[in-house]
Structures are given as C-alpha cells and as structure tokens.
Amino acid sequence: MQTHTPPSPTQTAQLLQVHEPRNNGMPLDLDWVASVQANTSAIERRAATLPGRRSVKKDYQAAWLLKAISCIDLTTLAGDDTDGRVQRLCAKARQPVSAALLEKLGMTGLTVGAVCVYHDMVAPAVRALEGTNIPVAAVSTGFPAGLSPYHLRLQEIRESVAAGAREIDIVISRRHVLTQNWQALYDEMREMREACGDAHVKAILATGELGTLRNVARASLICMMGGADFIKTSTGKEPVNATLPVTLTMIRAIRDYYDRTGIKVGYKPAGGISRAKDALVYLSMIKDELGNRWLNPDLFRFGASSLLGDIERQLEHHVTGAYSASWRHALA
C-alpha cells in the first residue's frame, strides 16, 4: 500500500451519491464460464504473502482505518433483534467514532457504508437513518440457506424494497453451483435482479459451501452476467466465511468482467473479519488488484460489526497512546 492517504470521509460520503452505472448483466456466455480456471496452490501462495507485503503506520494507518469504517455494512442479523437495538445500531452508523476523537483526527462527516438487517427491521432502520445518505441493506431470499419456496424469495425482495431498503443481499442456490447448472444460476440471478428494481443487489455466494475455488470463480462470473451489482463471499453463518484466497479469486473475476464489459462490480467480504489489521490487508489487496476506484463504499464493503470496535480502539491508541477497554465501544 502506498503511503498517500485515501480520500477523506467527507469525499467518501459524496461518492456514495454518485454510483457507477448499474450492472445490467449480459447474455449467458457458457464458453467464457468453461474457460475459467483457478490455480488453487498459486492463489493460496499469493494470499499467504499478502499480510507481510504492505505496512502502514501512524497517520497513514489512521487514515486507512477511517477509510475502512466508511466501507462497513454495520450489521445485526440475530433472532432477538428489536426496534431498539436497530435504532442504537443506526445511531452508531451515523456516528461510528466519537466526535471528540474525530476532531483530534481532523475528520468530519464520517459514517459507515450501510446498515444491514433482516426484512422485519428494514422500516425501523429507515426511520432511524432519515436525513442521512446511509442506505439500509436487507438480507433476503430465505437468508441464510436460501431454501424457502422460490416465489416467496422473490416476494421477500419486493417487500424489502417497498419498505425502503436501497440494497438487497440475496443468497444464491448453492446446489446450482455444485451441480454445475449454470443456466439455472443465471436465470435465478436475473429474476432476483429484476425483483430488486432500483435497489442495488449483492449476490452472496456462500463460498465456504461451494467446494472449490474454481466453483467460486465461475459462480462469481455467472452472478455478474446475471446483473449483480456486488458479489459477496458469505452470509456469515457458514463454518468458513471470508478468506484471502476466496477474496483474491472473486476480485480477479471482477477484474476480468470489467476488462470484458467496462462495468465495475463491487465486492463485499463478510464473516470473520473482526480485527483492524485484517481490514488493512483486504484494503491493500483491493488497491493492488482493482485500483483506487474500488476503495470507495459504492464498490467495496466489509460485512462486519465487531470490526468497528477494534478499529475504534486502534484509532484511540493512535491519538492517546493507550488502548481503551472494548466495552467502551459498544455497537448497540
């Protein structure tokens, strides 16, 4: 990672309002899909070197951590979610770092990238975020397994959009990937994209359940052909969620799709990213493989909540020289 600072949070907030053109998809190209391979050993070797390849310190590290906050989808997906919990989470989304700490860092206007909730919590989240540019993202289509009746999955999308969700995180049918039924996966993605209307759609691949990196690469490509605006690693509920080899595989698929079509598709690693230093590794990988344009919340998100607490602690250490207790940075 080079030593210049990323765009300020204020500039990031402005970029949230200027999205790239939607990915309208393309006809299914099975020849292209069949040509996609993944050299697992080479990908794993490359991924293993990443944590030691880039190092940022002091003010530069603080700037990159602020950038990471602006790309977080602050998430609560628990069975005991309540309106009150979601309201508190949205308050945290509005003010993710204390005003006093931001003042010392010379930053203003910092918010997270989005708030991600179940359908029933969309309306409370929309109300709590009124007057901001922070979008509400709804997990949908029978999340996390994606095995509810198909017509109900499509209707769930429509109802979340009607409730005010500006982004929809859908889960694909893993069986289509495992049985290599690419036509079925493409058709599913097209129909879910259509059901989203103007809302941006993030396709969750559940990569921990796809078996191979080749399957991950091909599923990524199919979802982009089907019109996904983002591709996302995981629901956060699988035994294995976001990993560096999976990330490298998926963002190279994004790069190939961009080279072929000129359309920029976003990327969202989710599940298991809880430490500030891990966020720096992911950001450096995005910068190296896709370039600076992808280092903005309209093209990159972290699916995380506990990550924010660790970043806050690192920022406080940067300013004061001491680490604070984790309970001082509660999310909700």
- Residues catalogued as catalytic: 169, 232, 268
Q: Determine the longest span between alpha carbons in the chain, in angstroms.
A: 57
Strand-strand pairing, 302-304 and 266-268: unpaired
Within 129-170, residue ranges assigned H as helices are 150-162
CA distance 147 to 171: 9
Q: Which helix (H) or strand (E) holds 281?
A: helix 276-289
Helix orientation angle between 244-261 and 276-289, rounded to the nearest 10 degrees: 30
Look at the block and give the residue holding tokens 């794993």.
44
The tokens for 213 are 């990196």
User: Three-state DSSP class for 83?
Assistant: helix
Give residues with Cβ within 8 angstroms of 331, minimum separation 6. 74, 76, 88, 89, 92, 305, 306, 308, 309
Residues 6+ apart with CB under 8 A from 84: none
- Given a contact cutoff of 8 angstroms between Cβ atoms, the answer to whether 231 and 224 are in contact is yes
Q: Which amino acid is at 45?
A: R
Q: Calculate the alpha carbon distances from 146 to 43, 76, 174, 177, 216 in Å.
A: 29, 18, 8, 13, 17
